[in-house]
Chains A and B, each alone.
Chain A
Amino acid sequence: MIRIANAQVWVHDQEEALAFYTKKLGMEVRADASFAELGDFRWLTVGPPGQPDVAIVLMTIPGPPLMDAETAEQVRNLTAKGFAGTVFLTTDDCRAAYEELTARGVEFVEPPEERPYGIDSGFRDPSGNSIRLTEVREMAGL
């Protein structure tokens, strides 16, 4: 059986991302390990309490020789432009989560709104990654 373990987002600054995902989103640190022999590479993952088997990897955009400088700059810009990807989160109470996160300083691009599939909202992490927060409606027959 294949299961999802981690999915990765690019971040411009791991400390800034860590503070956002833990202090503002309320996630917990799952792994935080640095490796001197790998050029101080830091494996940093976070995940929501109550869902221990899935985590988000907060990955620094590497430099040469792993990624050439031009590509790194492209990835940095793609992330800053908001085109690097989206994390889709679900909650059982989107409006309550919105209030809670807003109080912690999360700036929503889209406040909760009714959609055919539930109540949907969206915001960004400090690097520009899009994050959706959706209360999914149970659909009969699906």
Chain B
Amino acid sequence: MVVPPARHLLRAKDLADARYAEPLGVDDMARAAGLSRAHFSREFRRTFGDSPHAYLLTRRLERAAALLRNTDRSVADICCSVGLQSVGSFTTSFTRIYGVSPTAYRATFPPAASHALVPTCVLRAYGRPQLRTFREDKHGSHV
């Protein structure tokens, strides 16, 4: 039985979901899928609709948004916790995706927000934000 190519791409997607907190990049995702970077990026986008770079970033932003809602940790701390190094880039990306800064986003939620009893896999799947234009995609250097 030949394994469908998408199964290898799913390993790369799972890697992003599992290890977003680490200094992970598209190269690591391509390795997990066993494909060259250029071929991988093209196939990943064709299969899942987002470039691997955008998927990884939106996963990190989704996790950051959850930490902003559910904890009182600082923005810088949360930025590091989701695998991003630059607080400036994090704030810029977050604001572009969510329309408000991380601090303003947090302020829109009550501090003791009651937790819905929805499985985390569902929260993650439905909570990952929609891709908006990334500078990197425009230049095509990180797709």
Q: Which residue of B lies closest to A132 (CB)?
A: B121
Q: Which residue of B lies closest to A139 (CB)?
A: B117
Q: Which residue of B lies closest to A116 (CB)?
A: B115
Q: Is B47 an interface residue (CB 8 A)?
A: yes
By the criterion CB–CB under 8 Å, are B117 and A116 in contact?
yes
Q: Give chain A nearest CB distance to B119 CB in angstroms.
A: 6
By the criterion CB–CB under 8 Å, are B3 and A134 in contact?
no
For the residues of B in contact with A, the DSSP-based class is: helix
Q: Which residue of B lies closest to A124 (CB)?
A: B14
Query: Digit string of B2-28 for contact with A (CB within 8 Å is 1, else 0)?
Result: 011111011001100110000000000
Chain B positions within 8 Å of A12 at CB level = 1, 3-4, 7
Interchain CB contact (< 8 A) of A88 among B5, B6, B10, B119: B119
Q: Work out how many contacts link A and B, with CB atoms closer than 8 A.
A: 59
What are 20 residue pairs bridging A and B, where the CB atoms are less than 8 Å apart in the complex? A12-B4, A13-B1, A16-B1, A76-B4, A77-B6, A79-B4, A80-B4, A81-B6, A81-B10, A82-B13, A86-B121, A109-B17, A113-B120, A117-B117, A122-B121, A124-B10, A128-B6, A128-B10, A132-B119, A142-B117
- Residues of B bordering A, CB below 8 Å: 1, 3-7, 9-10, 13-14, 17-18, 47-48, 115-117, 119-121
How many chain-A residues does the 8 Å CB contact rule pick out? 28
Q: Give chain A nearest CB distance to B127 CB in angstroms.
A: 14
Query: Digit string of A60-73 for contact with B (CB within 8 Å is 1, else 0)?
Result: 00000000000000
By the criterion CB–CB under 8 Å, are A117 and B17 in contact?
no
Query: Digit string of A123-142 for contact with B (CB within 8 Å is 1, else 0)?
Result: 01001101010100001001
Q: Give chain B nearest CB distance to A40 CB in angstroms.
A: 15
